[in-house]
Amino acid sequence: MSRVAKLLPLAIGSVLLVAGCGTPSAAATTWGTVNGHAITQADVTTRMNVILVLDPQAASQVKQRSTWVSETKELATEYLVAQQAAKAGYKAPAKTVSASESQLTSYLVSSYGTKAKLQAAMTKNHVTQADLNAYAASATQLQGYLAKVAPPKATTDAQVQSFYKSNLSQFAQPEEYDLAHILVKTKAQADSILAQLQQGASFSALAKKYSTDTGSAKNGGDLGYQPLSTYVTAFADAAAKLTKVGQLSPVVHSQYGYHIIKLLGIKAATTQPLSAVSSEIKAYLQQQASQTAINTYLGKLTAKATIKTSVPTKLP
């Protein structure tokens, strides 16, 4: 459930960085330990509450015990990295932490639509502003430390070229059609309009006057260049039979009504040149290299650690 990558530029390989890393009370129920440090039921519950604010669609997942188990293990990994950062004396710059906290809150306000709606979701899920700030601060702290101890190898131009050649299909752009259409509710009206067009009437004028597709009607029915896969099957099949600019289709029926289609132009299928996508490829490969470096580091770190987790069958 890697939500950080979607919410902030704070993704740290397989580590999901969230709040809930406070000092446990003696009476707290322990669900795991990391080199003697307790992971409590309260820690995991806080995590689940934060998840529900960050991603309301995760509600069904949060009800599953498997999610509680996986998130408890995620917390164990985070505790382990946090312990190493503390030993090394690493601390993220205060300005960076503050910026991350503000960024997360701004993102959530935008996602919910208003600050009031965000606050309502926070209240419903027992999440405070301090919890969100801790989420962002923890992510920033651990990201900075992992970037320092597990830097990725630099991506070379040769690697970029190799990836491009091996994945040419990903950079293919399909044939595109520039189509105009007039959409009406009845076949009788469509037949009448087609007859007028065949006698020389202006397609653009009739589209503006009669088409129920108001989005394209204002442009004379023009839908712009799109691959045929954009359209419903009946429409696409009829358009595919048009071969000459200016050619009209017969009346076509779809779930939207009755269409008359006009071909305005065709762009041949192309493949994006390496120069146009090299920066995108390099960023992707660098991200993969970072993931590999962090996973390698975490694997070595985990192998030397004493980690135990035990999530009860009955959840809180």
Spatial separation of the C-alpha atoms in residues 161 and 44, rounded to whole Å: 44
Give percent of the chain with pLDDT exceeding 90: 87
Fold of 175-268: Chitinase A; domain 3 (3.10.50)
- Binning pLDDT at 50, 70 and 90, where does residue 28 land? low
Distances (CA, A) of 159 to 50, 78, 163, 165, 269: 39, 32, 6, 10, 26
Q: Given its phi and psi angles, is residue 221 left (phi above 0), alpha (psi -120 to 50 degrees) or beta?
A: left
In CATH terms, 4-155+276-309 corresponds, of 3.40.50, 1.10.287, 1.10.3210, 1.10.4030, to 1.10.4030
User: pLDDT tens-digit profile of 175-233?
Assistant: 999 999 999 999 999 999 999 999 999 999 999 999 999 999 999 999 999 999 999 99
pTM of the complete model: 0.65
User: pLDDT tens-digit profile of 43-59?
Assistant: 999 999 999 999 999 99
For the chain, the structural domain boundaries read 4-155+276-309, 175-268
Q: Tokens 């204002």 appear where?
A: 218
Sheet of 37-40, strands arranged across: 37-40, 30-34, 307-309
